Structure 1
Amino acid sequence: MAARPPALHQPVALLLAMILLLPPLSTTAKAAAAQPAELRCIPPGAATVAVPGCSWRQHSPLVECSKFPPDAPAPGRAKLSLDVGGGNSVDSRSAVCVTLTRFQRNSCDTCFESLEFRNFTVGWAVIGPRCTERDCPIEVYILESVAALSPLKYNSTSTEFWNFTSPVFREHEIFFITLAFNGITMRYTRCSISLTNIYNLGKTSIEKLVLYNNDNISTDLKLGMMPKLKQLTIANSSILDFPEDAHVLMPALERLDLRDNRLTSIPAAIASMRKLEELNMCGARLRRLAGQLPPLPRLRELSLRNTGLCCLHQEQDAFRGVPNLELLDISQNQLTSLGGALRGLSQLQYLDVSRNQLTEYPQLSIQDCREGLLSFAFNHLRTLPDCNSFCQSSNVLLLDVEHNQISSWDGSADMLRCVSALHLSNNTVSELSATMLRTLDAVSEVELAHNPLRCAGCPLVRLQQWLVGTAVRVLGAPGGGSAGQALRCAAPRNVAGMSVAAVPADPASCRPPPPPPAGAGLALGLSLAGAAALSTAALAAACYRYRFEVAYGAHLLRMRMRASSSRRRAKDVSGTPFVFDAFILYSSNDRPWVVGTLVPLLENGPQRYRVCLHERDFQLGTVIVQNISRSMDHSRHTIVVLSKSFLSSRWCLWEMDLANHRTLDPSQREFIILLELEPLERSALPRHLRFLMDTRTYVEWHQAGDVQYEEQAFRRLKRALGASCFTCSDVSRC
């Protein structure tokens, strides 16, 4: 431990500079003679104590000391904020003297304790030259009054933590803002602090008081006057009652956390806390709300998890006094119904009613569903809700109905229009009808894992075709891959455990039967006409059923005819005017990078490339295969973003196969541009893709986030694309 600085009548700062610039001197006179003027930072009259074990990492705003208080038998840790003043920065070119202001002390003994001050001078530090990122020579001196604050006594039953009448705690001299026991995590050893000690915090400037996991002898909570207190947390401390005059003693309180205590009702004092924004009563023994909550117009978050609530559907006005509530947690209770109890909560964004016994959805009237979450997981629900009973917005809610008993649902195609993501795993869905699939098309993402899917007959064909053609991101199980590979079959027994995509299906067996004859007395001519009409209808139905295959075959035939004609004429005879410079093929898992990085570089750069994205540029109401084929025909190039997600998607590989047939045309050899987003194992590639990567130059873009690397990769991509069709004056070369 460094020695205490010299007496106050001697130039203290001289000694600090010598600690850094010269070997330790034996006399104060030598230190005074050698001290640079710019390091005279400790003012005369300041009684300080040297603190060992301190460090500072360059560019960090904090100084950390591992041995504080210096003379304590079991010292803790301290964090002090730098205040260089005047807008100057601390660097490593020369020795710098800085003021230490914000102070937070932590000590890890029987329970975790932290003490925090704000906006007052704690001490001073001298940061020497030769400071690297991990090795900074530093000397720290702290005020004696701060060093004298010993750690709190955790196992004391006395009536005070320590002497809060100390000048250090005077309200008008400093700001003592936080006192916390086990305030960061609840995994520390339980404390044994008398709740009556909290009374001694009265008349201080404390703003935050936290006490977790306390085995107090007395459960009588007594509060002193704390006019600046904004957050009070007394959790898992066995308190039975809350002071009725708390609203007078804590008039500025905004957050009150009383979780996991033995309270049997909402404290009466809360009714007068007009500034209260958050209330946590989780783990209390409420059972009933006994009428309604008190009027709290500012309350935004209310947690009543695991409080034994059973009959909210009988208390329709319970939440009338909290109309601005945004978060409500009533999970892990005994609720069988909510009825219209939540109908007045028009500002809700987060509702958790999971792990109850609900058999029906509550009545809600949310005015502004701003990317909210409604969780009804682990209940007894048997169907999906209709957005008409929730809100009128589109694609904003995450609806969690996992672990229920949902097997089917009926409704209009837009019944889920307000849902962006639907979590439907661990239910009892065995077959998905055409109506059910149409409703799922309205969402952006659906989770279907761990449902007892029956993979046989027409339901299997319908599901496989939907998984290939839908724009919905379908999640099956952890591990990625396409939805058809991730979803598992539960029946019949011979395919149990197989992926949906791997089960063979016969689309021909699912052709719609011809309609019955109109009557037995029809004439032969009418019969023949009817047969012809039926044949035409059957052919049209078959064409519609196999529209993907028909479009695919037409595309291949067109490519082969174009290639043959091009070989005869030795030029491109497509005659198709290009609308885009490039069509981009990618996996939905790579969409953030494509939309956030690649597309802006191409479209917003000086070349002003025009690119085609399926989600933005496809023609609505057209078969997706036709959209893809038309986009490739109207694009000068196709950029294929290769990744592990791309290779695991059967749909992506099918699109890649469509693009590959374009290269049959000799004039279109450079049509495909391969962009490898991450290193790929060559042995795992499909044969035609491996051939393309072995015989063509491709762009590697592995180090996403490295600016220099990205610039080099982008230059290679631009060389492959050439000049944009829509910025050069000579468009004939496009």
Structure 2
Amino acid sequence: MMMMVVMVMMMMVMMVMMMVTMVMMMVMMVVMMVMMMVVMMMMVVVMVMMVVMVMVVMMVMMVVMMMVMMVVMMVMMMVMVVMMVVVMMVVMMVVRMVMMVVRMVMMVMILLMILLMMMMVLVVMGMMVMMMVMMTMVMMLVMILLMILLMMMMVLVIIVRSLTRLRFLRFGNPALEEVRRGDLAGVRQLDQLEVYGNNLKRYDPGSLGDLWPLRVVTLRLRGPFQDNLTLVSSIFHDVSYSETFLVVADVLLSEKTSAAPFSEINRRRVRSILFQNATLTDEAMIHVLEVMDGASLESFGLEDATFYGTGAWKPARRTHLVNMDTVYFRNIEVMEVFKFTSFLNLGFLLKYLRQISIINCKVYVMPCLTSHLLTQLEYLDLSSNLLTDLTLTESLCHGHGILRNLRVINVSDNALKSLSIVSKLVTRLDKLIHLDISQNAYTSMPPTCSWPQTLTHLNISWAKLQRVTHCLPLTLEILDLGHNDLTAFHSVALPVLRELHLSGNKLRRLPPGWLFPSLEVLLIQSNTLNMFGPMDLQLYRKLRALQAGQNRFVCSCEFVYFMVWRWGGAVEGSVELTDRWDNYLCDSPLPLQGQRVDRVRLSPFQCHRILVVSALCGCVLASGILFVILLWKLHVVWYVRMMWAWLKAKRNSGNQRRRDAAGNAEPLCYDAFVSYSEQDAEWVEEFLVPELENSQPPLSLCLHKRDFLPGHWIIDNIINAMERSRRTLFVLSEHFVHSNWCRYELDFSHFRLFDGDSEAAVLVLLEPISKDDVPKRFCKLRKLMSSRTYLEWPQEDERRAEFWSNLRLAVRGGDEL
């Protein structure tokens, strides 16, 4: 029974421990839930909905896990109870039989309980690890979401900052129907704004009111001008400032009510307004002027507009626009222009104007009466119209100087033909500074012209002028004669000219620089220039900028060197090339055509032909001299002479053989030919000749003094004498080596040695002489002196008999000595 009690108590203890474990797990789960709730409370400010969804999912997962855990624990408890019952029954059955086994069973049960406890602990730890993993994953997910949110906020900040730096905004499209306040939040300090709202139906006042300073505003509000003028007034109120240049585009102003929104412009004191791509009537314009009565408006313009009406301006003559000084009309088409009256009714407005631009409006005349009204006019632009010499005369009141304040006139791109008429019409305009008469049909320039003394800028470009005369005013500072047919510019001096435009003509050279002592800028592109150099530019004393590209350059050595090596992008002195190197291309020679001048590389022979030829000639001469010296050092002359002698000897030997064959051969006349120096003649005549010729039998000697034929070339005499002698007796001494004729004789003897007759020479040394004193070219003779015994004249008298005996034997052809 005690055993049973103990076992029951142990089971109760185990159950208590299991309950405690479960309570601890529940507490941990509660703590975790509290922590998660805290996290959720911290995140709820940023993204409530997302966190709620995450927490709901997590709670569901936790509930499911708790239920799974409870089921597992119940199963384990049931298993344990069953096991305990079984164990108890087994114990009861065997307790009586085997008491000793009880202890073992108890031990086994204790071990089983320990194992069960360990399993429970492992399960709990596993659950805790799983919960920690889940918490880690949740925290990572939260961190990722926070990072995404932070990045979105940063992008938003960047966008807002970029919008704060925005300077130009084109806003709207054909589908834009409403603009609400806050649509352009973040946009500040805008300079240019273009609103495309032709179909705009709703606008919250103030939506564009925060944009500032708005220098230029373009409004395309065709629909609102027809249907909702209040909307237009609200927009005008928000975007109009005194410094704003207001462009009203794509509008139709045909009724009186259309002018109502412009009262807002008057209140906002806008100074400049331009109607662009508009359709207007004179009635609507009259009401616009009435609405703008007393306004600060200074500039009024129409561009690409169509005008209907007859020009009945009288109703607006009571308006006061004293600040209006600029009128700008461009590409205006007046419908039924034949019904249109003059501008005399606008005299109340014309008297204030200082600048008038009427461009490409098909104007053919401005009546002189209208010109009388323009008392303050300083700038007049009538370009791209239909003016002729006759109508321009009417417009300028026949040159009476009515427009005395006029400073700038632009009548370019009309039908003017006479430069003389134009000069007369402006002569009395004593404040005229700038005159543009370009793109007209001028074909010639009169010899002389009269101009106002104040004229400094003259533009006669894009005409058909072929030459320049003294018609040009001497007061010019800027002259544009570009794109004419000029072939030369000379003999016309302009002392104060600073800028000259001559591009697009047919000039072949730069104008003389001495004609323009004050010239600073010269443009001469697209002409027919071949080249220019430092001498041309030195005449321009103040020139600092040059444009000369797109010409037909001849890439000579001087031009390429001047352009590339001396200029290198900067011309002589302070002059600079202000156009691109791509404009400087070679036109000739043909191999270089199309190449950039700065990339051309010419050979020294092309650039310095005379120098190169002179150098080559010098090299050839020096080589010739060196060659001659080399020939002399190598004794080539001697070899040539020997060859000539050999050929002559061969010819003689051939003749000799033919004579031998014919039986009339010349016999040998001498036993020996004696070769000696003139300084040694005394020894030869006193000792040698008597001893040999008086011997028994006597020997016949050939001496040049007595046996050479007079009148023959000495070389022929030497050769004939040696050919007719059996031996050649050389009397060697220092005088012999340095004697020219002896050397000839030695040369020919040397040749005979080469021909195989090694017995032909007998050497007698009159005085001691080394073989080294014999010239090195006599290699055979030097070899003989080394290999054969030669006779040496003894100084002792007792040895001379033996010398003469040996000499006779050698001459007669005895054995070797």
TM band (smaller chain) = 0.3 to 0.5
Instruction: Give the structure-1-normalised TM-score.
Output: 0.45
Of the two, which has the highest radius of gyration? 2
Higher helix proportion (structure 1 or 2): 2
Higher strand proportion (structure 1 or 2): 1
Which has the bigger relative contact order, CA under 8 A and spacing at least 6?
1
